[in-house]
Amino acid sequence: MIFNSLDFAVFLPIVFLLYWCLNHHLKIQNLLILCASYFFYGWWDWRFLSLILFSSVTDYLIGLKLSNEKSIIKRKWLLGTSLFTNLGLLGFFKYYNFFLDNFRTAFSFFNLSFNSATLDIILPVGISFYTFQTLSYTIDVYREKIQPTKDFIAFGAFVSFFPQLVAGPIERASRLLGQFSKTRTLSYKNAVNGFNLMLWGLFKKIVIADRLAIVVNEIYNHPQEYHGFTLIIGTVFFAFQIYCDFSGYSNIAIGCAKLFGFNLMTNFKTPYFSKSLSAFWRRWHISLSTWFRDYVYIPLGGNKVNKCRWYFNILIVFVISGFWHGAQWTFIIWGAIHGIFLIIESIKINQKYFINNWFSVIRVVYVFSIVCFGWIFFRANSLHDALYILENVLTVSNYQLSQLSFYMIPVVKQSVYATDVFLSLFFILLLVASEALNLKYPFRCFQFRYKLPFYILLIWSIYLFGAFEKNEFIYFQF
């Protein structure tokens, strides 16, 4: 089930009431969370419950074994078993057909045939997220940063915790697992803050992201019908769509967890106000970027190596990050784009003369432009579409600004109306203004102090302006 569905609106209050009726019964509360999480996940396809259960049992047992094993070789074998099991499942379900298709293409260059049947594989929802979460537990136990838990119910609930199961934040055992062993109490402030976050997340998803999706889907699903300003508008709209969609999910997840007495990590910190690309990645999908930093970048040597190796480390991390997002070359290129621009940014002469002396607003626009350039490949349905869009976006210099309305006309057709375009622009401006204010004034304090008007305003806005088609969150597909 998804957060913006009637099913979840029924599911959450039932679990919430049962959970707090069991107050002071910690193990039973954890068992309820585990069962509720499996029910939540099984709502999509109950067959995939076996995968998450298998990963949980495997890493739980390996964690216990690592705590008693002193042999370095055997410890490495145990860690390798966890990596092979989890990444093997992820690779099979997510990347099997990708590698198969590319093997066929490679063999065709030499006039050789490579016959192997393509499998009709359904990608389990959230497998990339819970795989990384359970892997971080095993790696941290191996590094002796944490002690393994002997409570399987708590560990299973940690892996499958339903608020953040399918799209993060990707939590570490050092932060979340310990919360399952502590008595939790229902506080008024936590409940109000949690509800505020959930309501704000639903507003960003239903009112902004899903309305932007109407325009973005029309343009990106038929890119050959558009050019110039229309493609630029579609790309900028997608930048805000994916931000509101994903940060909206994170808001709902964090708020929902607060209702049950848990604290999840912040996943977004106004990333589109970043003045450098490195700052953007410290503020966008923070749980994933820090995961790659701690478990890939630093083990490769990080920046404690010579410059050529350092640049390689940056590039390979972002290529892997792109591949994590999807089994398509467009995602790999998207990751490579960010890696290359981060390498350029890291060169001191460029930092001194090309970036640091810019005015703040220009620097923000510069970073946003690079991010949007990457979004073209991220959103395009194929590499061919991405190259077409890029080529035709670059022709914008041939157009006069006075012709903007003319080039917007093709957007206003079929299922896309002028209302969707102008409402989208209005809510983007509203979002930018609210986040600019949030940089100076704590928005949560405003929410808490003026909670009743805030509730009424958001609920009324969702009712009036929400796009209520059943749209899953974008990151569910990853």
232 and 165 co-located in one domain: no
pLDDT means per 10 residues, the chain with 478 residues, are 86 94 90 94 86 93 90 92 92 77 63 62 82 93 92 94 89 92 86 88 92 89 83 92 93 94 92 92 94 93 88 94 89 94 78 55 89 95 91 62 45 59 86 80 53 74 78 75
Distant-in-sequence, close-in-space partners of 455: CB < 8 Å, separation ≥ 6: 195, 199
333 and 259 co-located in one domain: yes
139 and 198 co-located in one domain: no
Catalytic residue among 24, 25, 222, 325: 325
321 and 225 co-located in one domain: yes
The domain total for the chain is 2
225 and 246 co-located in one domain: yes
The amino acid at residue 48 is F
Is residue 71 in some structural domain? yes
Q: Is 325 a catalytic residue?
A: yes
365 and 413 co-located in one domain: yes
- Tell me the residue range of the domain where 122 lies: 6-185
Read off the pTM.
Answer: 0.88
User: Taking a C-beta distance cutoff of 8 angstroms, is the pair 130, 287 a contact?
Assistant: no
User: Taking a C-beta distance cutoff of 8 angstroms, is the pair 54, 81 a contact?
Assistant: no
Is residue 365 in some structural domain? yes
Radius of gyration, CA atoms only, the chain: 23
207 and 350 co-located in one domain: yes
71 and 210 co-located in one domain: no
The amino acid at residue 315 is L
> CA 421, CA 417: separation in Å to the nearest integer?
7
- How much is the pLDDT for 271? 93
> CA 465, CA 77: separation in Å to the nearest integer?
55
448 and 302 co-located in one domain: yes
38 and 160 co-located in one domain: yes
138 and 213 co-located in one domain: no
> CA 162, CA 149: separation in Å to the nearest integer?
20
